[in-house]
Each structure stands twice: as structure tokens, then as C-alpha cells.
Amino acid sequence: MFMRFASLATAITFAMPALAQQSHTDALFDLLMLPDIIEIMREEGVSHGDTIGQDLFAGPPTAEWAATVERIYDFEVMEGMVREDFEASLEGEDLTPILEFFGSDQGQTIIGLEVSARRALLDDAVEEASKDAAVIALADENPRMMMVVEFVEANNLIETNVEGALNSNLAFYAGLLDGGAFGGALSEDQILTDVWSQEAEIRVSTTEWINSFLFMAYQPLNDDDVQAYIAFSQTDAGGVINRTMFVSFDRLFTGISRSLGRAAATEMTMQEL
């Protein structure tokens, strides 16, 4: 009995740092309001699925297609996958400065504004108005827009988002091939060529969307708040959380895109029959 209890005590001692790390990771997950962001992304995805249906299918998207898209964008599955990759990416990292920044009133205000803006952009009219405002602000070299541009550059947001979009498009095509779409008429080389040909257009639309989103989100902030966020982004801790955010969502979006491709191929085949 002594040996057994000694072993348990040793196991608990060694597990303590891991448990503390997980507790901090869970706290950070909530401070970044990732459940809210994932829910918004789910709504964006369902809308995107409807667009795919309208573009690819001979007739209007069916109720079965809508149900399939809803299943693919399952919130519980999405959150579980992001949380798993989030924890894995932060393993061994010092979370103290990240928790201090995002746990502060300033950090929570910033994250809250980002989430509110992202939710507002679900409305097409708001999105168009936001893009128009950002274009004007950029042309006028509006001081706040110049700070947004600096923030975007500090976090390398354009390159990482373009890369993610290209990977998602490639995964969607791969899903179409998995499902037997186009009767094998497309080769992998043709797909790669087609996806890469979209790079310039994706870069333009990505830049437009990011600028408009952040310009709208950060309007209520004062200059000191925005500068503090830029300064944090340029620290090692800022780099860690920035990379973590992209790593945490990469597998999710690639998997969803491939699933959508397979489902679209099935729907196309059913319509042909």
C-alpha cells in the first residue's frame, strides 16, 4: 500500500505543472473569446456553404445540402478541435505576459470590440459599408487607418490569411476529387495551377476585408490602446499567440473545406442522376 500511495503522490507531483499550464490555457482560451469567435465562424461557414450550393449545383441548394452544411459546421466539433490545437501549440510556452495583456481591462476591451465587429460583419450591408469606409480612410491616409496598417504588418496578417485561404481552396478541390466530381477530368497539377491562379484575387480581397474589419473594430479605442496592442504584437509573447491562433484554426478550416468538397461532389452526382 505504501508503494502504491508513493507512486500516486509522485504522479500528482509531476502532473502539477501540466495541470497549471492547462488551467492557464483554458483561461486564455476564454479571455480571447474563442468560443464566441468560433460560433461566428460557424455562421459565416453556413452562409458560405449556401453560396457554394448556388455556384456549383444545377438547381437551387436542396434541404439535404443545407443539413449537410450544418453537420459539417458543428459547433461542438469545431470548438473541440480548435481547443486541442490551441493547447498543443502553447505547450511549454510562458503564458504569463499573454494572460496579463489579454486579462487586463485594455485587453478585454480590444477583444470585445473585435468580436462585436466580426459579428456585425455577418450583415452584408454592414460589411459593404465597412469596406467603403476603409477604402476612403486608406486613400486619405487616415491616422487610425495607418495604425491599423501598422498592426496588420506587425502580425503578418495578410500573408498568413492568404496562405490559409489557398490551403482551404486546395482542400476543397481535393474533397471534390475524393467524391468523384468531374469524372476524373481534373488532375492534381491542374488543381494546383487553378488554386495558385487565385492568389492575386485572394490577396486583394483579404487585404480589403482585414483593413475594413480592424478599422471598424478599433474605432472606439484611443490611440494609446492601439499603440499598446501594436507594441504587444511585436514582443515574443505577441508572436507566440499570433502563431498559435493560426495554427489552432488551420486544421479546422482545411478539414471543413475538404468535407465540403466531398459533400458537394456527392450532391452534384445526385443531381446528375
Q: Over the stretch 10-41, which tens digit does the pLDDT of each residue have?
A: 344 444 444 445 688 999 999 999 999 999 99
∠211-168-77 over CA atoms, to 5°? 100
- The reply to whether 179 falls in a domain is yes
Contact by Cβ (8 Å): 50, 72: no
Domain tally, the chain: 1
Distance CA 269, CA 271 (A): 5
Decide if 125 is inside a domain. yes
CB 195, CB 169: distance < 8 Å: yes
Does residue 39 lie within any of the structural domains? Answer: yes
Going from the C-alpha of 221 to that of each of 2, 70, 117, the distances in angstroms are: 60, 36, 13
Give me the torsion for CA of 205, 77, 111, 140, rounded to 10°: 0
Is 16 a member of any domain? no
**Does some domain include residue 9?**
no
The number of residues in the chain equals 273
- Within 8 A by CB and 6+ apart from 44, the residues are 122
- Domain membership of residue 15 (yes or no) is no
Cα 51–Cα 55–Cα 60 angle in degrees, nearest 5: 80
C-alpha cell at 59: 438547381
pTM of the model: 0.87
Euclidean distance between CA atoms 239 and 154, whole angstroms: 9
Predicted pLDDT of residue 190: 87
Do the domain assignments include residue 2?
no
Domain hosting 175: range is 24-272
The string of pLDDT tens digits covering residues 39-80 is 999 999 999 988 888 887 777 778 888 999 999 999 999 999
Residue 69 lies in a domain: yes
